[in-house]
Amino acid sequence: MRRVVIAGGGLAGQRAAETLRALGHDGPITMLAAEPRAPYDRPPLSKAILAGETPDLGLRPATWHADNGVELLTGTPATGVAPGRVRTPAGDVPYDELVIATGASPIRLPGLPAAQALRTLEDARELAGQLRPGRRIAVVGAGLIGQEIASAAAARGAHATLIDVAPRPFDALMGPGQGDWLRARHEDAGVTLRLGRRLTATDGDALVLDDGTRVTADRVVVAIGVRPELAWAADARGAHLAGDCTGSAHWEAAARQGAAVARTILGLPPRPEAPPLVWSDQHGARIQRVGDPAGADRVERDGEDTAFTLTFTRAGQPIAATLVNRPGDIAKARRALQTQAKEAA
């Protein structure tokens, strides 16, 4: 019986363990989770937790690992690897197959030692306590997480300033040239936007931007991206990578990759890939995008200002769709893209 060690206690690692058991692997499985808890769902950190809610984040019931013969070692990060074993603070763990699913670490900015990131449940709880009327929250980085932090801050009465070097950061979610709708939602909610601006210095409780603007803040959050957590595994050979440590950085990709490495370990063929899906909740709107709109030569809009679909096409064929407040249509949109991909193959 081959022993599988899963380094990483997130979504990708959990899906790998589930798929191994579901497809008949009866050998030992050990999961090394750096955090002091079982695998949990991260998207609610920047949504429900920042909104002041207390949802159950567990990916599976508390007894799942014991019930399925998966040894879960919480508070046990992988610190190194040698042939046939993973090093941890508690000692070496032997393996025949190694899954590396250790995720990613937030990129920090020099000169902002007190700035916060949003990656763990503790991060989210601490930041949620800062989102209250009268507080000034500066968010450096207007990617998906930064946008959701600004949205949550505005909803709870705090004043948020969103800073990014990109002049059109909302296009990344909405699609090329389509971010103005989301920008207007932020502005209407009272979020101050400093786009196309770079942070150059700090002065007391103020951030100084490259145009001389000073942004005064009670709390600074840095959300400029993540780096794969792979330094510990520099000597790994023949390991299987899944999740954010691959650079995928999206929930569905992590889930899919975790299942895929399990199939590889079992010698099973890969399953066909579905078009990528990302989603976000901002200012009361559910935004979903399926497929990749990069390279589209045409976009068509269907619907009203509060609920609509953007369909991106190239050479007359659909390649992506962005849906706003139309969650019931996402399965149909995905099927249309899958059908197109099969016909083009």
Query: In this structure, are 115 and 99 located in the same domain?
Result: no
Query: In this structure, are 172 and 244 located in the same domain?
Result: no
Query: In this structure, are 84 and 41 located in the same domain?
Result: yes
Tell whether 47 is covered by a domain: yes
Tell whether 51 is covered by a domain: yes
Give the sheet arrangement for strand 219-222, strand by strand.
192-195, 159-164, 136-140, 219-222
Query: In this structure, are 196 and 158 located in the same domain?
Result: yes
> Which residue type occupies 63?
T
Contact between 102 and 94 (Cβ < 8 Å): no
Maximal CA-CA distance, the chain? 64
**CATH code at 204?**
3.50.50.60
Query: In this structure, are 128 and 187 located in the same domain?
Result: yes
Which residues, listed in sequence order, are joined to residue 4 by a DSSP beta bridge? Answer: 29, 97
Tell whether 271 is covered by a domain: no
Tell whether 115 is covered by a domain: yes
Closest C-alpha among 168, 120, 126 to residue 143: 168
**Residue partners of 14: CB distance under 8 A and separation at least 6:** 31, 39, 59, 60, 258
Q: For tokens 């690897």, name the residue.
A: 81
For residue 329, what is the DSSP state? G
Query: In this structure, are 230 and 205 located in the same domain?
Result: no
Tell whether 274 is covered by a domain: no
**Residue partners of 79: CB distance under 8 A and separation at least 6:** 87, 88, 89, 232
Query: In this structure, are 166 and 257 located in the same domain?
Result: no
What is the DSSP secondary-structure string of 257-317? HHHHHHHHHTTPPPPPPPPPEEEEEETTEEEEEEE--TT-SEEEEEE-SSSEEEEEEETTE
**CATH code at 323?**
3.30.390.30
Distances (CA, A) of 152 to 156, 191, 220: 6, 10, 15
3-state secondary structure (DSSP) of residue 137 = strand
198, 222, 246 — which closes off a domain?
A: 222
Tell whether 276 is covered by a domain: no
Mean pLDDT by 10 residues, the chain (345 residues): 95 98 97 97 96 96 97 98 96 98 94 90 97 97 97 98 98 97 98 97 92 96 95 93 90 94 96 90 97 95 95 94 96 87 65
> Which residue type occupies 292?
D
How many domains in the chain? Answer: 3
Query: In this structure, are 89 and 54 located in the same domain?
Result: yes
Distances (CA, A) of 338 to 313, 325, 331, 332, 341: 14, 22, 10, 10, 5
Query: In this structure, are 60 and 16 located in the same domain?
Result: yes
Quote the radius of gyration of the chain (alpha carbons, Å): 22
Phi, psi angles (nearest 5°) of residue 107: -75, 130
Query: In this structure, are 38 and 116 located in the same domain?
Result: no
Query: In this structure, are 37 and 93 located in the same domain?
Result: yes
Tell whether 95 is covered by a domain: yes
Q: What was the pLDDT predicted at 295?
A: 93
Tell whether 57 is covered by a domain: yes
**Owning domain of residue 97:** 4-105+226-265
Query: In this structure, are 20 and 57 located in the same domain?
Result: yes
Contact between 166 and 195 (Cβ < 8 Å): yes
Question: Up-side HSE of residue 34: CA atoms within 13 Å toward CB?
Answer: 18
**Dihedral sign, Cα of residue 113, residue 114, residue 117, residue 123:** positive
Chain centre distance of CA 175: 18
Q: What was the pLDDT predicted at 205?
A: 86
Q: What was the pLDDT predicted at 15?
A: 98
**Residue partners of 16: CB distance under 8 A and separation at least 6:** 6, 99, 101, 240, 242, 258, 259, 261, 262
Chain centre distance of CA 35: 17
